[in-house]
Amino acid sequence: MTKRGMTLVEVLAALAVLSALLVPIFLMISFSSKAVYRSTNDILAASVALERIEKLRSLPYFKMENILLGFDENMTQRPPSSKVLFGPFETYQEQPDIVQPNCYTSGSVVFQCYTYLSYFPEPNPDPNDPKFDEKRKRIRAKVRIFWKDRLSSSVYVDQDLTFDTLIHDENYNPKPLLDSYGEDSN
């Protein structure tokens, strides 16, 4: 009766097969954990941006316009027309109207929030235009969120997420354009 054990070649062959099966599994786990990390940051950034947009949308329109014009946001009414600037309201290189550094932190990730406000559809409506007051009834709010994703212990990637929305004066109710049949052409 002979006892037979495993030879070194059999052990090496078994280890080769095992490593061929385990290496892709470990790589998939590593990849998926990085993907979860990055998608979590994307979701947090979207959540922060949407929260900022909802805060802006909840403000009375005159407060939004006060921020856009550089007046105190806490004023209780619209500034007198003699104090309203007649443009240009925006510079060529757009500057943020609201800066919120470190607006949200999740673990080691810090989110920066910048809000840009401008009239819509023209950022700088002409004060000589007969529709000047009407062109100041809608404001475009653009919220940009910046953060750094960590890819490894020393590699970081800059990330940027932007959301836009239109906010209109509560008293602004334009009439729809009607076609020759009296139906809404929109």
- 69 contacts 90 by C-beta, under 8 angstroms: no
Mean pLDDT score of the chain: 84
**pLDDT tens string 81-140:** 666 667 677 777 888 989 999 999 988 899 999 999 999 988 888 888 888 888 888 999
> Can you tell me whether residue 163 is helix, strand or coil?
strand
- 125 contacts 138 by C-beta, under 8 angstroms: no
Any residues with CB less than 8 A from the CB of 151 and at least 6 apart, and which? 34, 157
Q: Which of these, 177, 78, 95, 81, lies nearest to 132 by C-alpha position?
A: 81
- 112 contacts 104 by C-beta, under 8 angstroms: no
Alpha-carbon distance 84 to 121, whole Å?
19
Alpha-carbon distance 92 to 84, whole Å?
20
- 137 contacts 172 by C-beta, under 8 angstroms: yes
Q: Which ranges of the chain does DSSP label H, i.e. alpha helix?
A: 8-58, 61-69, 132-135
- 136 contacts 167 by C-beta, under 8 angstroms: no
- The answer to whether residue 73 scores a pLDDT higher than 80 is no
Record the pTM.
0.74
Q: Phi, psi (5° rounding) for residue 147?
A: -160, 170
Query: Residues of the chain with pLDDT > 70: what percent?
Result: 86
The predicted model gives 155-178 an average pLDDT of 84
**pLDDT tens string 35-44:** 888 889 999 9
Sign of torsion over alpha carbons 89, 95, 100, 103: positive
**Amino acid found at 98:** I
